[in-house]
Amino acid sequence: MHNYTIAKLIKGLQNKEFSSVELTQHFLDRISQLNDDYNAVITVTSEQALSAAALADQRLANGDAPAMCGVPILHKDIFCTNGVRTSCGSKMLDNFVPPYDATVVENFARDGAVMLGKTNMDEFAMGSSNETSFYGPVKNPWATDSVPGGSSGGSAAAIAARLAPGATATDTGGSIRQPAALCGISGLKPTYGRVSRWGMIAFASSLDQAGPMARTAEDCAIMLNCMASFDEKDSTSVNQSVPDYTASLGNSIKGLKIGIPKEYFSEGLDRGTEIAVRKALADLEAQGAQLVKISLPNSHLSVPAYYVIAPAEASANLSRFDGVKYGYRCENPKDLQDMYCRSRTEGFGEEVQRRILIGTYCLSAGYYDAYYGKAQQVRQLIQQDFSDAFKSVDLIMGPTCPSPAFKFGAKGDDPVAMYLEDIYTIATNLAGLPGMSVPCGMVEEKPVGLQIIGNYFDEARMLNVAHQFQQITNWHNQAPEAVQ
C-alpha cells in the first residue's frame, strides 16, 4: 500500500479494498521500522491517527466521506497542531504544545485526512540542507550520506521513503521545491496568499507560502484542493475562488508556450542536471509544447535581495521569542534583560542567530536605505522580469537546483555557498509567483528536479503540464532500493 499514490489510496478506501485503520497502521509500522534511518519524522501521533482513521472508516461506511477521507499524511513541524508539540525544528519551541490548529491542519482534518505525525525541518525553516534542525539532520533516502534539501527536508524524505503518501510543507526561498528535487518527489509552492499562513510559524512573512508535497502532480492537485482557501484570519490570504485542480490535469499541452530563461542554464549548473532538464524539455516539446528562449535579466540579483529581505523580516518575526509567554526560558535569569538574552542565545541555533543579526543590521539606522530599501526596489525589477516574460509564454521552466543532493558538511563554513543552492527558486518567492518541482532524471543515482514557474494563480496549468509529463515519464515512480 505504501507504493500507492494518494489518488489510488482514495479509490482503494472508497472501494473497501482496505480500511483507513489498516492503511494508517501500515504507515505507522513503516515509520517505526524505517524512520531511524532517515530522521524524517520527529513526532509520531499513533493514537490520534488511529482514532481519526476509525472515524474516517465510519464516514466511508456511511457514504458521507469528504475528499481525502482516511488518507494518512504528515505535517511539517512548522504548522501548529492542537495538543501536539510544534517545534519548528528549534530548541526554542521544543516544549511548545499549541492550543490550536493551523488553518492548513484544520482544512486537512475537515477533508478527512489522518495526521500520522510531524516532520523534521531546518530550524525555523532557515536552511537548504536540513542540517540546522535541533533534532539532527534528515538523511536523503536515495543516499544517506547526502542531504535531503531544506527546509522541508523531513517531509520530502518521508515521502521518498514511503513513510507517508503526502505531506505539508512551506517555501520561503525554495523550501518545497529544492527538497522535492533532491528527494525525487513532486512539490508545489502556490501563489503567495493562495494558502492560509494562519498557525504557520512565521519566518519571512512577505515570502512564506505553504504547499503540498507528494509523489505525483495529481496527488499535489488533490492536496492543494484541500489546502487552498480564503482565510479571514490571515490578512494576506487572497479572496479568490479555488478551482478544482484535478479537473484540468488531463488537458492537452499542445501549443503550450514554455519559456526557457538563458540565465537558468549558465555557469554553476551541473552538467548532468542540465542534460536531464533539457531532455525533459524535449519530452514536453515532443508532446506539442513550444519552447521559447527568454531572458530574466535581473536573476543574479535574486539571492542578494532575498538575503536582505528574508533576514530583515525574520529578525522582526523572531523577536517574539523572548521566554515570556511560551517556548524556552533560560534557567535562573538574574534580571529581565538576562532572561531575554540567554533564552534567545540558548534557544536559537547558529544559522537562526546569524540571520537575526543580518536582518537587524539591514534594518538599523544608517543602513536601511542602502540594504532594505534597495532590496525592496530590486524586488520590483525581478517581478517586472517575470511579468515581461509572461507576455509571451504560458509557463517558465528550468532546473530546480544547480546540482543533485550534496554530502553532509559539503557546503562547509561559508553560509553563502549554502545560500546559492536556492539560486533558481528564490526569484519566484520575491515575485510571489507559484513554482513547482517534479522529478525528471537521475545523476549519479540521485534525483534531479524540473522547475515549473507559472503566472499568478495559474497552479492548475502547472499541475496539468506536470501531470502530462508524468504520463510519458516514469521518474516519479522510482523509489530508493531500501524502501521499496
Partner 1 sequence: MTIERKEIEKLATLSRLAIDEKTIADVTGRLSSVLALVDQLQSANTESLQEISRPFHTSQRLRDDQVDETDQRDAFQAIAPQTHNGLFTVPKMIE
Contact in structure between 401 and 447 (CB atoms under 8 Å): no
Q: Interface residues for partner 1 in 188-207 (CB under 8 A)?
A: 192-193, 206-207
Contact call for residue 257 and partner 1 (CB under 8 A): no
Q: Containing H/E element for 276?
A: helix 271-286
Shortest distance in whole angstroms from residue 195 CB to partner 1: 14
CA angle in degrees (0–180, nearest 5) for 38-44-49? 130
Choose which of 49, 52, 204, 358 interacts with partner 1 (CB under 8 A): 358
Shortest distance in whole angstroms from residue 136 CB to partner 1: 21
Q: Is 151 a catalytic residue?
A: yes
The interface mask with partner 1, positions 18-57, x = CB under 8 A, is ----------------------------------------
Choose which of 2, 76, 379, 467 interacts with partner 1 (CB under 8 A): 379
C-alpha cell at 24: 494508517
Cell 528564490 maps to which residue?
A: 426
Contact in structure between 359 and 313 (CB atoms under 8 Å): yes
Closest CA to 117 of 157, 69, 152, 85: 85
Using the minimum distance from each CB to partner 1, give the nearer residue, 69 or 427. 427
What letter would DSSP give residue 111?
Answer: T
Using the minimum distance from each CB to partner 1, give the nearer residue, 252 or 319. 319
Choose which of 252, 364, 471, 477 interacts with partner 1 (CB under 8 A): 364
Using the minimum distance from each CB to partner 1, give the nearer residue, 111 or 208. 208
CA gap 368, 389 in Å, rounded: 31
CA gap 40, 33 in Å, rounded: 12
Contact partners, residue 379, CB within 8 Å, separation at least 6: 305, 309, 430, 431
Contact partners, residue 139, CB within 8 Å, separation at least 6: 37, 38, 39, 145, 146, 148, 157
Ramachandran sector of residue 418 (left: φ over 0; alpha: ψ -120 to 50; beta: rest) = alpha
Contact in structure between 330 and 303 (CB atoms under 8 Å): no
Answer whether the bond into residue 302 is a cis peptide, omega within 30°: no
| Total residues at interface with partner 1 (CB under 8 A) | 76
Q: Is 269 helix (H, G, I), strand (E, B) or coil?
A: coil
Shortest distance in whole angstroms from residue 339 CB to partner 1: 5
Contact call for residue 377 and partner 1 (CB under 8 A): yes
Closest CA to 144 of 135, 152, 153: 153
Shortest distance in whole angstroms from residue 126 CB to partner 1: 13
CA dihedral 415, 361, 126, 428 (to 10 degrees): -90
Using the minimum distance from each CB to partner 1, give the nearer residue, 27 or 419. 419
Contact in structure between 73 and 167 (CB atoms under 8 Å): yes
Choose which of 47, 63, 99, 474 interacts with partner 1 (CB under 8 A): 99
Using the minimum distance from each CB to partner 1, give the nearer residue, 107 or 302. 302
Contact call for residue 396 and partner 1 (CB under 8 A): no
Contact call for residue 241 and partner 1 (CB under 8 A): no
C-alpha cell at 73: 499524511
Choose which of 92, 113, 213, 378 interacts with partner 1 (CB under 8 A): 378
Q: Interface residues for partner 1 in 296-325 (CB under 8 A)?
A: 298, 300-301, 303-305, 307-308, 315, 319, 322-325
Stretch that binds partner 1, among 145-153, 172-180, 260-268, 411-419 (CB under 8 A): 411-419
Cell 539532520 maps to which residue?
A: 137
Using the minimum distance from each CB to partner 1, give the nearer residue, 71 or 352. 352
Contact call for residue 383 and partner 1 (CB under 8 A): yes
Using the minimum distance from each CB to partner 1, give the nearer residue, 144 or 295. 295
Which one of 20, 128, 151, 403 is the catalytic residue? 151
The interface mask with partner 1, positions 264-303, x = CB under 8 A, is ----------------------------------x-xx-x
Residues for the chain: how many in total? 484
Q: Are strands 257-261 and 395-399 parallel, antiparallel or unpaired?
A: parallel
Q: Interface residues for partner 1 in 335-354 (CB under 8 A)?
A: 335-342, 344-345, 348, 353-354
Contact call for residue 329 and partner 1 (CB under 8 A): yes
Contact call for residue 431 and partner 1 (CB under 8 A): yes
Using the minimum distance from each CB to partner 1, give the nearer residue, 4 or 328. 328
Choose which of 236, 251, 287, 478 interacts with partner 1 (CB under 8 A): 236
Tell me which amino acid residue 247 is. Answer: A
Which one of 19, 129, 175, 302 is the catalytic residue? 175
C-alpha cell at 86: 510544534
Using the minimum distance from each CB to partner 1, give the nearer residue, 348 or 475. 348
CA gap 79, 95 in Å, rounded: 15
Which one of 76, 118, 139, 411 is the catalytic residue? 76
Choose which of 12, 66, 272, 415 interacts with partner 1 (CB under 8 A): 415
C-alpha cell at 26: 501500515
Shortest distance in whole angstroms from residue 386 CB to partner 1: 10
Shortest distance in whole angstroms from residue 153 CB to partner 1: 22
Cell 489510488 maps to which residue?
A: 8
CA gap 138, 123 in Å, rounded: 12
Contact partners, residue 282, CB within 8 Å, separation at least 6: none
Q: Catalytic positions, please?
A: 76, 151, 175
